[in-house]
Amino acid sequence: MTEKMKQEKEKFRRGIILDVDGTLWDAVRVITDSWNAYGCDIPDVTREITYPAMQGCLGKTMPAIADILFSYLSPERRLEVLDGAMSYEIEYMWDHPGVLYPDVVRTLQKLKEDGWHLYIVSNCQKGYIEDFLHAAGAEDLIEDHLCYEDTHEEKGYNIKLCVDRNILDYAVYVGDTAGDLQASREAGIDFIYAAYGFGDVTGVEGVTAQISSFAQLPETAALLTGKD
Helix (H) or strand (E) holding 222: helix 217-225
Name the residue among 39, 90, 114 with its Cα closest to residue 69. 39
Does the pLDDT at position 122 exceed 90?
Answer: yes
Q: Domain 3-25+101-225: which CATH class?
A: alpha beta
Tell me the C-alpha to C-alpha distance, in Å, between residue 114 and each of 19, 70, 102, 139, 226.
20, 45, 20, 18, 12
Q: What is the pLDDT of residue 5?
A: 47
Side-by-side strand order, sheet with 190-194: 144-147, 117-122, 14-18, 170-175, 190-194, 209-211
Return phi, psi of residue 174, to 5°.
-115, 120
Go through the chain and tell me how many residues it has: 228
Helix (H) or strand (E) holding 211: strand 209-211
Does the pLDDT at position 103 exceed 90?
Answer: yes
Mean pLDDT of 52-79: 93
Confidence of residue 9 (pLDDT cuts 50, 70, 90): low
Sequence letter at residue 228: D
**Within 10 Å of residue 144's Cβ, how many Cβ atoms?**
15
Q: What is the pLDDT of residue 60?
A: 86
- Range name among 16-30, 70-84, 175-189, 196-210 with the lowest pLDDT average: 196-210
Q: What is the pLDDT of residue 3?
A: 53
Sequence-distant (≥ 6) Cβ neighbours of residue 106 within 8 angstroms: 215
Return phi, psi of residue 209, to 5°.
-155, 170
Q: What is the pLDDT of residue 227?
A: 54
